[in-house]
Structure 1
Amino acid sequence: MEDTMITALYIHIPYCKSKCAYCDFLSFGGEDEAHQTRYIDYLCREIALAAQNYRLTPETVYIGGGTPSVLSAENLEKLLTAVRANISLPLDYEFTVEANPESLSAAKAALFSDYGVNRISLGAQSMDEKFLNLLGRAHSLADIEQAVNNLRAAGINNINLDLMYALPLQSLSDWQNTLEKAVSLTPTHLSAYQLVIEDGTYLAKLLREGKIEAAEEDTAADMLELTRTFLPKYGYHGYELSNYAKDGFHSRHNCAYWLQEDYLGLGLGATSFIDGAFITRPQKMGDYYRALNENKLPGVREELKKNDLMSQFVFMGLRLDEGVSRARFQERFGADIAQIYPYAVAKACESGLAELNETHFSLTKQGKFLANEVMLEFLD
C-alpha cells in the first residue's frame, strides 16, 4: 500500500440520458442498463482495489459525470455500497453527487440520503424553458423545482445549482430572470459558468452553419458583473471565479483542486493528482476493463516538473477570491511567490489586475474580469 493518504475522492459516471448540445465531456448518451451495469461492476472492483493501494480516508467524496442520477436505483445502491464499504469518512465529511432534475426522483433522493450523501449538485443550467431547449437539456423548470423538493424531503439541504450564462440570444434581463428564479429556490450554493462553445459539440455545428451566434464579450462581461452584484444581496458570496455560497457551504471538494491538494480519481477518464504527478485513467472502455481484469489500477502517470507545479499552483489559486497564500507557496516551493515570479507579479499589480499583501496574491475586481490574461503570465 502507498503511504499517500487520500483526502479527496472523485468517482466518474460517464452516462447521461442524452448528450447535451454544449457538452464535450467524456460521457455517453442513451446507453442501455446492461452497459451501465457492467461499468458499475468494474468501477466497484476499482474502488476495492484502490482501497488496497491507498489510505482511503477522504474528507470529501464527489461522484460526477456524466449524470450519476441517470443510473438505475439498483446500480446506484451497488456503487454507494462499494464506496461506504471501502472508505473511512470523518464526522464532518462532504459527500456530493451530481444529478439532473429529470432523473432525481424522490426514491433516488432518499437512497442518496440513506447512504450518507449530504450534498447534491443539480445541473439546472437555466431557469428558462427556451434556453433549456437550446442547450438540449431533458428537463423543465418544473423538474428543477420538483428535484429540489425531493432532496429536502429526503433531508438533503446542501444543494448546488449549476447555471450557464452568455448563451446564444440570451439578454441581460434573461440572465437576471434565471438568477432570480434560482435564488427563490434558496439553494446553499450556486455555480455560474460562462458558456464556451467547444469544437465537436452540437452548438459548434449550429455556429458553423450560421444558425446561432455566440454571445459578445461585452454581453458576457455584463452578465458576470450582474452575477457578482446580484448574488451577494441574497447571501451568496463569491469565493471562486464561478462559485458562490452561503456562509459555510463552499465546495470543499473543489477547493482541494484549487489548492493543489492530493486527490484520487476513479472511473473512466478520471484524473488524479498524487505526490506531484497526474494519473489519468483510460478513456476507452476496453482499456479500462482490461487493466482491471489484470487486477491493476489503470492509468498513465505524468510527473510534473517544479516549474509546472508552481505555475499550476498560482493558476488555480488565483481562481479563489482570497488568492494564492504566500505562506502555502513558500512552504510548498521554498521561496516567496514574488521572488519566483517578480515580473508577472509586478505587471499584474501595476496594471491594477492583482494585489500583493502580506498574506496573499489575489485578483482585484477588475482582474477577475481579465483572469485568464493574468494567469497566462504564470504559465511556462
Structure 2
Amino acid sequence: MAGLYFHIPFCASRCIYCGFYSTVHPELQDDYVDALCRELEETQRSPWQLPENNQPTTVYLGGGTPSMLSLKNLERIITYIYKVYPHADIAEQTIECNPDDITPDYAHGLHELGFNRVSLGIQSFNDERLRFLHRRHSAEEAITAVQQLRAAGFNNISIDLMFGFPEETLMDWEEDLWTAIALNPQHISAYSLMIEEGTPLYRLREKGKIKDLNEETSRAMYDKLIDLLEDAGYEHYELSNFARPGFRSHHNSNYWNETPYLGLGAAAHSYDGRRRWWNVADIKKYIDGINHGTPVRGQEVLDISTRYDDLITTALRTREGINLNKMQAEYGHELYHYLLQESKREIDRGLMQIIDGHLSLTRKGLYISDDILSNLMHV
C-alpha cells in the first residue's frame, strides 16, 4: 500500500491564512501538468520512487486549488498514473476543490475521470468570515457545491471547516456545525485558525488590527466540535478529522500510519520509510528542473531517533495511537522503554492511556496535544 500525492499550487487569489506554497500564474498550468507527468514517469527510473513492488492504492490532488485545472489536464494526470502503474488498484481518488469551481458539468467530469472522493474547502458558512479569509465563494455557493457533487454521483464528500476567528462566538461556531451536519457529508475536517508567520493574517495581528481568540473560547469550540459531531454519528478518528463509519480518509491515514507516499509537483514531499525528500517550492524552477532532467530536490535520511519522533507526531494524532508491541519490534528496547517512561507522567495526569496495547491521548489530553507530543520526543 502507498499513496500518490500531486501538489497543484494554482490559486486565483491567496487566502490570508495560508502558509502552503501556491502561485497565481494560471498560464503555467499546461506546462506544469507536462512536468508532473514527466516526473511521475521518470521516478520509476530513478532513486526517487516508492519501495520496490509498492503500488499506489490512494491518489490525492491537493493544493493550492486543484479544481482550477481543466478536466483535460486532470485527465492527463489520471492517464499517466495508470501508464506508470498499470496494475494499480486505487481504492480512493481524492481531489480538493473550491466550492465556486463546482458546476454540474465539472462535477460530472470529475466523476467520469474516476475521482470518488471530493474535499471541499468551505471553511465557514458565514459570508462575513469568508470575506475576512479572502475566500472566493459564498455560503450559498458552498451548499450548492455539495448538492451538485451529490447529483453527479459522489457519495464520499469531505468538507473543511475553521474555527477560532477573531471575535467569533461559540454560538457562531455552533451555527456552522449545525449547517455542516445538515448537509450530511461523509467526512469533516475542522481546524483552529492558525496565524502563521509570513502570512497576511500574521501581519494584521502584528499591526494590532486583529487579536487571537482567547484560549477559553477556543477550547469551548473544540469541545462543541467533538460533542456535536460525535452525537451526529461521526467518528473522531484523528485530532482534526471526523468520519462516518467506513469513510476515514485512507490517503491522509497513510501519513499517520508510516505508509510510504510519493509526492509530485512543486513543494511536494515524499517518504519511503527511511528517507524524506521534497521538490523545490518554486514552480518555474520545478518545471525547468524536470524538463532538463535535473530536478531540484532536498533529501533527509532518517535515523532511528528521527523516525521515533515522526511516530510520536503522527500516530499519536490518531484515535488508535501507537501500537506498543509493533513499536518495540521496529524501534528497539531502548526507545520503547523511553516512551513508556516519558508517557507515565502523562498517564498519571489523565492525559494519556494504554488500552489493548495501544498508547493514545485521552479526551483531556487532546486539548494540549502539542505540549504532550513535544514532551515525548527524543531529539
Fold shared per TM-score above 0.5: yes
Give identity over the alignment, percent: 35
**How big is the shift at 1:109?**
1.4
Find the aligned partners of 2:197 and 2:90 in 1 and give their Cα distance: 41
- 3-state SS of 1:16 partner: coil
Q: In the TM superposition, what is the alpha-carbon distance from 1:167 to its structure 2 partner? A: 0.8
Structure 1 residues 159, 89: CA separation in 2 closer, same or farther (over 3 Å shift)? farther
Q: Quick check: 1:318–1:362 contact (8 Å CA) kept in 2?
A: yes
Cα contact 1:329–1:336 (8 A) shared by 2: no
Identify which of 62, 80, 83 aligns with 2:81. Answer: 83
Matched, 1:35 2:38: no
User: In the alignment, which residue of structure 2 is the partner of 1:74?
Assistant: 72
Give the TM-score normalised by structure 2: 0.94
**Contact 2:58/2:90, CA 8 A, preserved across alignment:** no
1:178-327 residue pairs with structure 2 within 5 A? 178-295=176-293, 298-327=296-325
Q: Once the 2 structures are TM-superposed, how far is the Cα of residue 68 of structure 1 from its aligned partner?
A: 0.2
- The aligned length equals 373
Checking the alignment, whether the CA contact within 8 Å between 2:31 and 2:287 is kept in structure 1 is no
Paired residue type of 2:64: G
> Is contact 1:58–1:89 with CA below 8 Å preserved after alignment?
no
Q: Partner residue of 2:16?
A: 21
Give the whole-Å Cα distance in 1 for the aligned partners of 2:116 and 2:330: 32
Compute the RMSD of aligned alpha carbons.
Answer: 1.8
User: Is the 1:59–1:94 Cα contact (8 Å) retained in structure 2?
Assistant: yes
1:378 to partner: Cα distance: 2.1
Q: Is the 8 A contact 2:258 2:273 kept in 1?
A: no
Output the amino acid matched with 1:135.
Answer: L
Distance 1:361 1:40 in 2: 42
- Structure 1: which amino acid aligns with 2:74? L
Separation of aligned partners in 2, 1:72 and 1:258? 31
| CA separation of 1:46 and 1:233: change in aligned 2, threshold 3 A | same
Q: Which moved more, 1:135-144 or 1:199-208?
A: 199-208
SS at match of 1:335: helix
Q: 1:48 touches 1:86 (CA, 8 Å); kept in 2? A: yes
- AA aligned to 2:185 is P
The answer to which of 262-271 and 281-290 deviates more is 281-290
SS at match of 1:334: helix
Asked if the contact 1:67–1:100 (Cα under 8 Å) also holds between the matched residues in 2, the reply is: yes
Q: Which residue of 1 aligns with 2:2?
A: 7
Asked if the contact 2:56–2:89 (Cα under 8 Å) also holds between the matched residues in 1, the reply is no
Give the distance between the partners of 1:147 and 1:337, measured in 2 at CA.
48
TM-score, with length taken from structure 1: 0.93
Match of 2:333, SS? coil
Which structure 1 residue ranges, 4+ long, deviate > 6 Å from structure 2? none
Provide the C-alpha distance between the structure 1 equivalents of 2:98 and 2:297, rounded to a whole number of angstroms: 29
The offset of 1:298, in angstroms, is 4.5
Q: How does 1:166-181 map to 2 (within 5 A)?
A: 166-181=164-179
Unaligned runs of 5+ in 2: none
> Secondary structure of 1:356's partner?
strand
- Indicate if the aligned counterparts of 1:239 and 1:320 stay in contact, CA closer than 8 A: yes
Residue 147 of structure 2 corresponds to residue 154 of structure 1: no
